[in-house]
Amino acid sequence: MQNVDELLEYAVGSGYVSGAVAMASAPGRGTYSSASGTASRDGGRISDDTIFEISSMVRPILTAAALQLVDAGKLALDEPLGAILPGMQAAHRLAGFDRAGSPMLCAARGALTLRTLLSHTSGLHSGTWGDAMPRAEASLDISRRVASTPLLFDPGSRWHYGGDLGIVGVIIERVVGMPVADYLRDGVFEPLGMRDTGFYVEYSARRRVAGGWRGLASTPGETAFYSTPRDYFDFMRAVLSRDGCLLSSNSFELMQRNQIGELTVPKVLRLESVDVPGEVNFYPEIRLYPGTECKWSLGFMVSAEAVSGGPSAGSLTCAAPSSAYCWIDPDSGVAGLLFARRLPGCPDLVDALFADLQQTVYEGHSVPPPAEPRRRHVLERLFEGWSKESWATWWPM
């Protein structure tokens, strides 16, 4: 996979990312790691040991933790959540607006369950639960907040990326009787050797944080989540190999297969159809695989079709906006990730770099015919001849 080195060096040399780390594995090839550029302004080299803030990519990890409790018989996927958090019920859903613009409500059909939360079909939205992870007092008022905030739709009737996983964290805490951060450490991180992953970075490790330690999540309302490429790839390998130390075979099936049936995951953000802010259905993977139908498992976006020059149908993808992307291809046994640090003021092209990484990995996995010339990457075509000085002219720092 030597071409991965060239790809990252070209991306850094073009000046729109200051550093990037890629890791990939394929049957018979082991794990490949490549890094280029700097981790922070002080010029420290970026590596697979650099710590990144990847808050959105806690989703599969939190899903795995919840499914561990399902495996242990402490949770049930289709049990109404009121049985776990007494009094919690979604009584109403939004039915439209009257002529004066006031919301009209009707009784919600169906129950909120762990399955609807993990598959983003609950009808909850970001306003229902503000933080990505629970606070200490969360379980005291969460029932009132859910009951007083109407759902966008009946549970199970639509797919919408929203505020589901904060409640999953509260459920885990209620069942195990400890902070969710401690449970993730004991149930996921330590068994997989993920020593630099969690909601907090120890003082001694803060010098390794990409972009420098800030202490706050970059997205308002989120609780920061951190990991290194090396740590996160260990989690990916556990999912790819169905490592029994993490989950049962049945739970891996739930993480790796479509769990929303005929429901659709939007590939375009259509603001003209939005009536209230909570209906904005943006999710970090929305710009990936344009034109490819996608579904959702419990934890990952699932490609319903093969991606040209890339992953097979049934591949799993997770992303944190503009900073981290990963995919797992169970059919071909290929997995890969990209963690990148963007330069302030430069256009967001990390998703294009991720697409090029996938193409490069699959070209190396299946040897192309000798007579076929190497295809230029998207980035090469877009920015051929551009220098760092050119970037500084159009996107000054």
Note the pLDDT tens digit of each residue in 57-86: 999 999 999 999 999 999 999 999 888 877
d(CA 302, CA 259): 9
Give 225's contacts (C-beta < 8 A, 6+ positions apart).
53, 54, 55, 57, 58, 132, 133, 198, 199, 217
- pLDDT tens for 90-115 read 667 766 666 766 667 677 788 889 99
Give 135's contacts (C-beta < 8 A, 6+ positions apart).
none
Residue with tokens 């375009």: 268
H/E element holding 354?
A: helix 350-365
Is 371 a residue whose pLDDT tops 60? no
pLDDT band at 383 (very low <50, low <70, confident <90, very high): very low
Give 244's contacts (C-beta < 8 A, 6+ positions apart).
none
Q: Which amino acid type is present at position 28?
A: G
Is 372 a residue whose pLDDT tops 60? no
d(CA 245, CA 243): 5
Task: Look at phi and psi of residue 331 and say left if phi exceeds 0, alpha if psi is from -120 to 50, else beta.
Answer: alpha
The predicted model gives 341-362 an average pLDDT of: 84
d(CA 251, CA 115): 12
Indicate the average pLDDT of the chain: 82
pLDDT for the residue numbered 140: 47
* 102 vs 278: which has the higher pLDDT: 102
User: Do 104 and 158 form a contact (C-beta atoms < 8 A)?
Assistant: no
Lowest mean pLDDT among 33-47, 189-203, 297-311, 360-374: 360-374
Lowest mean pLDDT among 50-59, 98-107, 157-166: 98-107
The predicted model gives 336-341 an average pLDDT of: 96
* 153 vs 296: which has the higher pLDDT: 296
Token readout for 91 is 């009584």
Catalogue the active-site residues.
56
Token readout for 63 is 């899903």
Share of the chain above pLDDT 90, in %: 52
The predicted model gives 182-207 an average pLDDT of: 95
Is 369 a residue whose pLDDT tops 70? no
* 126 vs 376: which has the higher pLDDT: 126
Q: Where are the beta strands (DSSP E) in the chain?
A: 17-26, 30-37, 52-53, 92-97, 103-107, 226-227, 294-296, 301-303, 316-320, 324-329, 334-342
d(CA 323, CA 139): 31
Token readout for 272 is 């003209």
pLDDT for the residue numbered 90: 61
3-state secondary structure 80-101: EHHHCCCCCCCCEEEEEECCCC
Token readout for 141 is 């008022």
Residue 202, number of CB atoms within 10 A of its CB: 9
The predicted model gives 341-356 an average pLDDT of: 81
- pLDDT tens for 112-158 read 899 999 999 988 876 544 444 444 444 445 656 665 677 888 899 99
CA dihedral 204, 225, 142, 108 (to 10 degrees): -170
Give 129's contacts (C-beta < 8 A, 6+ positions apart).
142, 145, 146, 163, 164, 166, 167
pLDDT for the residue numbered 388: 44
Q: Would you tell me which CATH number, out of the four given (3.40.710.10, 3.90.170.10, 3.40.50.10240, 3.30.70.260), belongs to the domain 2-394?
A: 3.40.710.10
- pLDDT tens for 215-246 read 655 554 457 899 999 999 999 999 999 999 99
d(CA 60, CA 119): 11
Token readout for 58 is 């806690």
Closest among 392, 378, 366, 268 to 312, alpha carbons compared: 366
Q: Where are the beta strands (DSSP E) in 100-251?
A: 103-107, 226-227
Question: How far out from the chain centre does Cα 158 lie?
Answer: 20
The backbone torsions φ and ψ at residue 17, rounded to the nearest 5 degrees and listed phi first, read -130, 140
Closest among 201, 197, 220, 221 to 211, alpha carbons compared: 201
Is 274 a residue whose pLDDT tops 80? no
CA dihedral 172, 175, 176, 180 (to 10 degrees): 20
Residue with tokens 């040897």: 367
User: Do 52 and 210 form a contact (C-beta atoms < 8 A)?
Assistant: yes
